[in-house]
């Protein structure tokens, strides 16, 4: 358990650090207008691929933590493990195939390729996988403090778009980064909660 937690949190730190690095490497590539996946084009392509792989490692470690969780809650354990596994696959797909979109939209005149579609499906798997796993984890981790953390993150997730609209902020890249940070924060909290649950199979 402790080793998996270290891998999960280490992967998350590496992912966030690499994303910050590529922003520094391309300061003229506005984060407000461009999604993180778009750094897979140009000079930062290798950095972005490694960043996705780091996140995939972290998510895979979280999937293993979920699979080793309490045997008293087999349904929640299965949902969390499978959902995190799907998110891990989605990250690997996103790392393999570059996006064709700019700010979440396909530019005029650009024909969507199979690789572009696969990237989009991969990102959908990441989002859906993390959401399902987070919900399942509420049953898997019967800890009041952890549940309050998940609730707070859910509030932040739901509030991102309304706040941006109310502020008149047209910055799809900022919104996407907000969603990703919420997802990473949940994984960090989940990994810590699983370590706090003790040994494999503890109830």
Reported as a single tens digit per residue, the pLDDT across 18-68 is 999 999 999 999 999 999 999 999 999 999 999 999 999 999 999 999 998
Cα–Cα separations (whole angstroms), residue 11 to 25, 58, 91? 21, 5, 13
- Residue 197's pLDDT band (boundaries 50, 70, 90)? low
Q: Rounded to two decimals, what is the model's pTM?
A: 0.91
Rounded CA separation 158/179 (Å): 9
pLDDT for residue 200: 39
Q: State the CB neighbour count (10 A cutoff) for residue 110.
A: 12
Contact 159, 106 (CB under 8 A): no
pLDDT above 60: residue 126: yes
Rounded CA separation 102/190 (Å): 32
Contact 193, 147 (CB under 8 A): no
């Amino acid at each position: 358990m402790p080793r998996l937690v270290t891998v999960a949190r280490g992967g998350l730190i590496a992912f966030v650090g690499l994303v910050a690095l590529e922003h520094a490497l391309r300061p003229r590539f506005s984060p407000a207008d461009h999604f993180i996946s778009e750094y897979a084009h140009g000079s930062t392509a290798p950095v972005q691929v490694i960043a996705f792989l780091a996140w995939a490692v972290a998510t895979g470690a979280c999937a293993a933590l979920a699979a080793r969780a309490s045997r008293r809650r087999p349904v929640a354990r299965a949902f969390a493990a499978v959902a995190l596994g799907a998110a891990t696959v989605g990250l690997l797909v996103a790392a393999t195939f570059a996006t064709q979109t700019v700010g979440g939209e396909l530019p005029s005149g650009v024909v969507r390729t199979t690789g572009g579609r696969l990237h989009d499906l991969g990102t959908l798997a990441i989002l859906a996988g993390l959401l399902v796993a987070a919900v399942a984890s509420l049953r898997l981790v019967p800890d009041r403090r952890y549940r309050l953390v998940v609730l707070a993150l859910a509030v932040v997730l739901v509030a991102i778009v309304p706040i941006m609209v109310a502020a008149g902020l047209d910055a799809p890249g900022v919104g996407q980064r907000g969603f990703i940070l919420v997802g990473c924060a949940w994984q960090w909290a989940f990994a810590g909660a699983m370590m706090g649950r003790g040994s494999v199979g503890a109830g």
